[in-house]
Chains A and B, each alone.
Chain A
């Protein structure tokens, strides 16, 4: 696919261009994701940051067409380079080929492990079927591999736990189990949705260390969805800030933390304990996320933006470059 190869460099693992996801509900058409583009390079960790409802989860699921009706991917491309070097558009692949990608090349760690795990199957059972879906191997071998995986994610007594059912594990162990399942086929890209929320801080640190190790050992790329800026600061190479279904700012972690260029990003950084810069007083961002049923023509953050101008309500700002690799979508930048 010559034209696709033109867009991807040899270092690209994933390149998403102008992704659009709409939900066709009784209340109207919800524009959940409108023209989102991002890229992931080999062995890097990127974070997708934003408040609840901004579309981060839908975006990552849309890439492998995991969006169920009434939602539908209505536009864009998701270019991916497989382990064997082939470049494909995930959104245009036939279903069976896509199935082979899921769980093997691109793996997910879902946000709520309790609902993600099937209560009637053991942890070992989950891992065995995940592996068997992609390669032939005897169950016994897979179970041994499973025990090793569980041990790697610091689950105590993994030989016993592998035979346990989900309800026999604590919340934290379930979260680690889901991470193990995600890693079972050595994916090239791991998409982790809030992977450490239920874990206490020490375990959290260990899991993050583990993910970093895996990244270098297997050259695995990681897409981290989170609103915990501490983890973002520690783990990510680059950040994408999302608001109301659009990317409002993107760039290297340090850049974003030291010079946020979008009002939303700076407010976000001031609203949580900032690990990079010490702030005296936490501020809130007044208002709530807007309804995405019939978004107006202007900037979606305008209603809550303290710097809103008359132009902002009329026209949507494009992403402009602030510095190398750092872009933001705000009319304030035009002035500069």
Chain B
């Protein structure tokens, strides 16, 4: 969504028009759902977190600074929502239904069933590793690798200095490597 259009919509929302919130919700729910799924691991909890985050963002709009972009601000709310849900034990990272609910991005043009199976197993191993790596490491990995955010965006979402992102990523990747080694997953 263009920044100017977004700003105008938010102005109208601040003036009390919920109908102007719909295009914003529709613009951000795809990326928001991917982030929430990466954090929560299952579709039901991810949708709950996403809904709650949109409602919280709506109630916080009067305090929203129109000079800032909406995206990182909203993803920060969503990330906090996911963390709260995981902490309050209303939900825990669980990937029980993940494969049934999600279409993984196709890996190249593989048509060999053996290769497809190998990749499916590899994906499963990675999900298990992400589950075991812990919330703090998982969130930075999800933001970088699954969402493709730049360091400056990750810094804003996680509310940390720009220079800390690389360090967080290094430790998260090391932790993931350690978990994969524990699981006897082979890496070059």
B is bound to A: no
